[in-house]
Structure 1
């Protein structure tokens, strides 16, 4: 497994990391087999989150014997200092570790969220305090909107940045990734297969790593998936002509109904959070996390049924997606 330096952290991380979302849906025994296969194959970067139900606790029970070989990352949606203090302590307990290598502000999606975590009494203060007392080593930020992440890393407060990156989601190439390189910030590619939309996984991983990101974190819940991903991390990252053609074909198929979460459709006049709904539907249809997705959809203040079919979102979408049609399809899944 090839290693790369995670920016100014100096940590040497495997180019293929372990995404902790899918192990929510499998038994502890299955999760243990998958994680153990990953570690045996040279994967040393493990990414999870407070929001991933029992992912942290499963990993905590599994990684004890390997802790000194691993670089553990987790993240929290907390925005206030007190909430983040609570979540850091829960993460330490669930992961059964004295320290966490990388703790990230999770899904900072707009300027309001960024201002809140950076303000006095915000979540960043808790992370800095925890770093000073040895509970964590480095601080990162994650999100789906490159422009917001650019503003975040320009503050100089972060060691890493995590963003969706795959053959159909490349907006980070415009400014975020060049800036991260200039500032020596580690880059982590999430959603390497576009939420399971791409089937040519080895080609996707090559594409990502050939574009210079430090590491990518495909989710895995089968040993066979681990083996496939590890093989991709051991080879060169140059795409063959055939692989380029396969990716181009898949991108063509995805183009008409694939939300890149650019948020140009926002705000909806009815308050519907369209990108989040499409993200939850992807968890329902592609990750198999049906209950988890529905549980997160139900508390949303504006539902798909609130749509008045005005079409304003479609007028603003730079990809000309049939958003109203896609919302109806998402509603069919998320109301179950």
Structure 2
């Protein structure tokens, strides 16, 4: 499988990485199955594992931790804080470390910065960014990251405020058509040496009928790696097969793919670009700086 440099960290990872949100009961994945899937991913060369404090009330981190306990040296662990405050984020980090059964994480992210108000909370006085800097000084966190699904310019502004080591961004083929991180954020991040992790590759299920082309599209972008969530061994095997045989799409293939999926470019199929995730009927508007 192709590997790529991970920004300025000196690390490199395979193009396919592991999204840890779906190895939970909510997605009909038992604990035994979750452990088997994570071990299989490691055995096949995947090293980068993404999770978050908020996923399934901690079950996602806890299940990943059952493998981390035995194979920590083989794994790059990235998790996230939802709380925007320094003290609240610190508590979430400590909880994450306990669940993950480790004394440090490789990457800690400010989770889902959807507007400038949330960015201001994260990066302002008493914000979670201060907790991240302190945790890095203490050796609890190696690298500081940020994630965003919605407006690429918010994350561009984030990079202007702080030298984040990495960014987790939405890069599905559907995202090509509106508020595109590939178009607006990746050139800025790559110029600054910021590692980039692609997500939302299957569009929260909107593109599950197009797994191969969706992954090939995402792998073809200038990202460091791409995380894909799985809840079955069959899904993992399918993703690995696509990654291991990856060749970039040519222009005609990409155009045909866009033509086949453009009818899905609407708020109810792209909730992460909508004004209300739970009732996605309108596109989000670019926010004014708060």
Q: Which residue of 1 aligns with 2:213?
A: 203
Q: Which residue of 2 aligns with 1:276?
A: 277
Q: CA deviation at 1:260?
A: 6.1
Q: CA deviation at 1:248?
A: 3.0
- Measured against aligned partners, the alpha-carbon deviations of 1:12-39 in whole angstroms (never above 9, x if no partner) come to 1221111111112321001011111111
Say if 2:75 is the partner of 1:70: yes
Equivalent residues of 2:218, 2:226 under 8 A apart: yes
Distance 1:55 1:190 in 2: 17
Give the 4+ runs in structure 1 shifted more than 6 A: none
Moved more, 100-109 or 143-152: 143-152
Structure in which a larger fraction of residues adopt strand:
2
Distance 1:40 1:153 in 2: 35
Say if 2:49 is the partner of 1:46: yes
Say if 2:114 is the partner of 1:109: yes
Choose from 123, 135, 139 the match for 2:140. Answer: 135
TM-aligned CA distance change 1:69 to 1:278, over 3 Å: farther
Which has the larger Rg? 1
TM-aligned CA distance change 1:146 to 1:62, over 3 Å: same
Larger relative contact order (CA 8 Å, sep ≥ 6): 2
TM-score (norm 2): 0.88
- Measured against aligned partners, the alpha-carbon deviations of 1:48-88 in whole angstroms (never above 9, x if no partner) come to 00110200000001232221111100001111100011011
3-state SS of paired residue (2:55): coil
1:287-306 equivalences in 2 (<5 Å): none
Q: Which residue of 2 aligns with 1:28?
A: 31
Equivalent residues of 1:169, 1:260 under 8 A apart: no
RMSD: 2.2
Distance 2:86 2:46 in 1: 32
1:222-237 equivalences in 2 (<5 Å): 222-237=232-247
1:83-102 equivalences in 2 (<5 Å): 83-102=88-107
TM-aligned CA distance change 1:245 to 1:119, over 3 Å: closer
Q: CA deviation at 1:40?
A: 1.1
